Every structure is written in C-alpha cells, then in structure tokens.
C-alpha cells in the first residue's frame, strides 16, 4: 500500500490516546517470519514490558493494525538506565514491525550510553536529549511530520509527570490521524 493510500485510510480513524498504568500479575529474524505474537517477541527481546509489566494484551490489541505496515514509530527511552542494558525495546519493535520501510526511532537522554553501546537503527533515528527539552521535542516532531506523522508514540522515559506532560504537549500534534500515544508506568505519578 502506498503512503498516500495508507494515510487516506488512517484519516477515517479517530486519533486516540492509550494510557497504560503498570499492571502486575502473577533467532530474532526467524521470529518475525513465524509471525510470533507481540508477547513472544517481547520475551525474546528481554524487555520488562512483559516481565515487570504485563502489557502484552494491550499492545497486541492496539498495535496489530500497524504490524505489517510502514509504521512511523517513536519510543521515549532506550533503556540506558535499565539493569539489563539498552536496546531491548528496539529489538522488540524491529522484530514486531515487519515492513521493510517501518521507521523505528527513539529518544534517549544518555548520549554516552548510545555511543558506548553503538546503537544502530534499521531505519530510524536515535535522538539524544531530555524529554523535558522542548527544543529537542520540536526537532523530533518536525521529523515525524516529514514522514506523515508518528503512527505510534510510546513514552517509557523518565516517568515523572512533568516529563510525561511536556512530551505529550509537544509530540501529540505530531501523531498521525488515527495514530496512538501510549504513556507507560503511570503508577509513578503517585510515588513520593
């Protein structure tokens, strides 16, 4: 499906926001060829999105329409502050979104981590900066607009309310018609 046809079909859908609170409950290339579920790919990647958090049902439901499309995707937070190391979500998203023109991008505050781990994108960008820096967010929004907007934005960054609100205000206009904006780990809003 060409870009113009893809955007035309998305205009028929309403934009929506998906807010995820943390829910507690008791061969990567070969994986996408088998069309494994989002949960299977998340486990294979080693992301906490299916271990500490149980997001598999929600993500599978909301992201399925873009699985084999030329999605324009952005996640805030590459995981440089995680014990298991950065890039687990990158591995997940590059396995899940199968279209060769899918754009997977990240915003990461720790530039030295990005360099140290030599993070490379299949087809996207690693932006370095704070999710509270409106100049950085405007640059990210402009790049999103140049590709027709972001179909999916996931905020799994710093988790403070100020960071989430600032990012949402700046990036929401860059979400394509019919796109979704996910904010993970909202439980942190209630931490002292």
What pLDDT, on the 0 to 100 scale, is given for residue 76? 94
* Dihedral angle computed from the Cα positions of residues 73, 54, 24 and 79, in that order, rounded to the nearest 10 degrees: -50
Distance of CA 37 to the CA centre of its chain: 17
- Give, for 135, the enclosing helix (H) or strand (E): helix 134-146
Q: pLDDT tens digits, residue range 126-172?
A: 999 999 999 999 999 999 999 999 999 999 888 788 899 999 999 99
Other beta carbons within 10 angstroms of residue 119's beta carbon come to 17
What pLDDT, on the 0 to 100 scale, is given for residue 25? 29
What pLDDT, on the 0 to 100 scale, is given for residue 48? 75
What is 30-190's CATH topology? Rossmann fold (3.40.50)
Pairing of strands 150-155, 126-128: unpaired
Pairing of strands 150-155, 72-76: parallel
Q: pLDDT tens digits, residue range 74-111?
A: 999 887 766 766 778 888 889 899 999 999 999 999 98
Residue 82 CB contacts under 8 Å (≥ 6 apart), including other chains? 48, 88
Which of 5-9, 29-33, 57-61, 173-177 holds the top average pLDDT?
173-177
Contact assessment for residue 23 and residue 55, using Cβ atoms and an 8 Å cutoff: yes
Residue from 35, 53, 117, 159 carrying the catalytic annotation: 159
What pLDDT, on the 0 to 100 scale, is given for residue 35? 56
What pLDDT, on the 0 to 100 scale, is given for residue 20? 41
Rounded to whole angstroms, how far apart are CA atoms 3 and 25? 40
> Between residues 19 and 185, which one has the greater pLDDT?
185
Q: Identify whether 68 is a catalytic site residue.
A: no
Structure tokens at 32: 């996408």
The pair phi, psi for residue 108, each rounded to 5°, is -130, 135
Q: pLDDT tens digits, residue range 26-63?
A: 244 444 445 588 788 888 878 877 766 677 778 888 99
* Total-model pTM: 0.77
What pLDDT, on the 0 to 100 scale, is given for residue 113? 86
Between the alpha carbon of residue 104 and those of residues 79, 153, 162, 190, the distances in Å are 15, 10, 25, 30
Rounded to whole angstroms, how far apart are CA atoms 150 and 72? 5
Contact assessment for residue 72 and residue 149, using Cβ atoms and an 8 Å cutoff: yes
Residue ranges of domains in the chain: 30-190
Residue 50 CB contacts under 8 Å (≥ 6 apart), including other chains? 39, 42, 43, 56
């Amino acid at each position: 499906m060409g870009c113009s046809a893809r955007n035309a079909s998305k205009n028929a859908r309403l934009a929506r926001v998906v807010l995820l609170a943390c829910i507690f409950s008791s061969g990567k290339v070969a994986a996408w060829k088998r069309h494994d579920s989002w949960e299977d790919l998340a486990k294979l990647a080693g992301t906490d999105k299916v271990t500490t958090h149980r997001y598999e049902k929600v993500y599978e439901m909301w992201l399925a329409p873009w699985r084999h499309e030329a999605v324009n995707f952005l996640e805030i937070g590459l995981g440089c502050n995680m014990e298991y190391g950065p890039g687990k979500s990158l591995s997940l998203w590059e396995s899940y979104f199968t279209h060769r023109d899918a754009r997977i991008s990240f915003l990461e505050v720790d530039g030295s981590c990005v360099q140290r781990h030599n993070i490379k994108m299949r087809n996207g960008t690693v932006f370095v900066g704070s999710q509270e820096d409106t100049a950085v967010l405007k640059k990210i929004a402009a790049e999103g607009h140049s590709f027709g907007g972001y179909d999916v934005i996931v905020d799994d960054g710093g988790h403070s309310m100020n960071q989430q609100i600032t990012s949402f205000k700046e990036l929401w206009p860059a979400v394509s018609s019919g796109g979704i904006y996910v904010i993970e780990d909202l439980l942190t809003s209630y931490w002292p």
